[in-house]
Structure 1
Amino acid sequence: MSDVVLKLEGVEKRYNKGLAGEIHVLRGAELRLKAGEMVALVAPSGAGKSTLLHMAGLLDTPDAGTVEIGGQRLSGKSDRQRTKARRQDIGFVYQFHHLLPEFSALENIALPQMANGVAKGPASERGRALLETVGVAHRADHRPAELSGGEQQRVAFCRALANKPRILLADEPTGNLDPTTSDQVFDALMTLVRETGLAALVATHNMELAARMDRVVRLENGLLVDG
């Protein structure tokens, strides 16, 4: 059985910009992401990193090519099927944490599980375990506004992994943080990835952080190249 959990094959994406004409963002992008692997996605601003993550995360559909998760082709499936796959198999982390301000850190992690049918007790138990892993269990009952930027982003990581996805997609997850906090938050992310064995694709401008991952892929002229 293959350990490839995310496969992009010949993925193309174009956008019609009216008078500016058609913009060809992805031109046949190829990617294999294995379980337990942490891959850095680097490219200049505007090169299409977010577009690629949207394709991989089934948030958008390619104009050509395929996206497979766990060997199942999902790029051509219905919205309902893609939504189910996102909920079960994919966790997302963005540059801004997007935590729900009226709920505590623990509640922000428990709620996605409860939406998937997990009872409150087990959902809270898993939430506390995740918070413990990233070193903020003592802040479980605090709301986002009471947390530092680094703490908020660590909670966001935990929320992304609440439903035990197979893939984590992160778009500049340390982009809003100072260098010291960025290192601390990235260490927490690496700990989560290593302990859960999920596959992670992390878009970043930080080449020092990229060098600490298992490998680096660059988006150049709509194609992915190693290094």
Structure 2
Amino acid sequence: MNDVTLRLNGLTKTYLKGTPGEVQVLRGADLELHAGEAVALVAPSGAGKSTLLHIAGLLDTPDGGTVEIAGQKVKNKGDRSRTALRRQDVGFVYQFHHLLPEFTALENITLPQLANGVSEKAAQARAMSLLDRVGVAPRADHRPAALSGGEQQRVAFCRALANKPRVLLADEPTGNLDPETSDQVFDALMALVRDEGLSALIATHNMELAARMDRKLRLEGGVLRPVE
């Protein structure tokens, strides 16, 4: 299908290869992520969710298999090409916000755009628009330490979407929040995903949140299986 934004085919990954402690995390994982859908990735701790997300987002390389993002096959691309593709087409959100502490919320969202060649005026306008949509615009000039946990994570979402990626990868994005804040932050994330029309692969232990996505996949035995 021509609306596939992320395709993983036969991914394998082994750590400590050739040693007594060898661990085969991925054993032929396949995935097609389509434009506009949000997919939950569920698995117990240590099953390889983070490894899968890092490979999908070009932060790590598989031992075998292929990754294709927005129609571009990544295999044999150099570091510069991989970085450019990741910066343009992939957004990341982690359990912890990882915002730059010396910069304001607005600046944290503006900086990735400047690095991508966007003018300062346009970058600030995009940043303010995103902050407004998640209800944090009044806090735009505050540094991360002055924001609540929920506000910090909403700013992190905005930063991930600053460059208008095709694919959003999120690793337990609400895992560090209390249940009420988690629900509010997740609603903000899903609203951004729907409004921007991008695809999202979201790893979570929270099955209630997973049930609110378009479909669920379980990483089990190194492969991805649908969850009914």
Residue identity matched to 1:94: Y
Quick check: 1:38–1:200 contact (8 Å CA) kept in 2? yes
Residue identity matched to 1:4: V
**Length-normalised TM-score, structure 1:** 0.98
What is the deviation of 1:76? 3.0
Q: Does 1:106 align with 2:118?
A: no
What is the deviation of 1:23? 1.0
2:171 — aligned with what?
171
Q: Does 1:133 align with 2:105?
A: no
1:84 — aligned with what?
84
2:25 — aligned with what?
25
Quick check: 1:62–1:75 contact (8 Å CA) kept in 2? no
What is the deviation of 1:75? 3.2
What is the deviation of 1:104? 0.7
1:184 — aligned with what?
184
2:63 — aligned with what?
63
1:48 — aligned with what?
48
**Length-normalised TM-score, structure 2:** 0.97
What is the deviation of 1:168? 0.4
Q: Does 1:159 align with 2:159?
A: yes
Corresponding residue SS for 1:20: coil
Residues 8-59 of structure 1: CA distance to partner in whole angstroms, max 9, x if unpaired? Answer: 0001011116753321100000000011110000000000000000110011
Q: What is the Cα-based RMSD across aligned positions, in Å?
A: 1.1
Quick check: 1:105–1:142 contact (8 Å CA) kept in 2? yes
Residue identity matched to 2:212: R
Residues 119-148 of structure 1: CA distance to partner in whole angstroms, max 9, x if unpaired? Answer: 111111000000011111111111101100
Number of matched pairs: 227
Quick check: 2:70–2:89 contact (8 Å CA) kept in 1? no
**Cα separation, 2, equivalents of 1:162 and 1:85:** 15
**Cα separation, 2, equivalents of 1:82 and 1:19:** 30
Unaligned segments of structure 2, at least 5 residues: none
1:124 — aligned with what?
124
**Cα separation, 1, equivalents of 2:210 and 2:168:** 16
Residue identity matched to 1:113: Q
Corresponding residue SS for 1:200: strand
Quick check: 2:6–2:69 contact (8 Å CA) kept in 1? yes
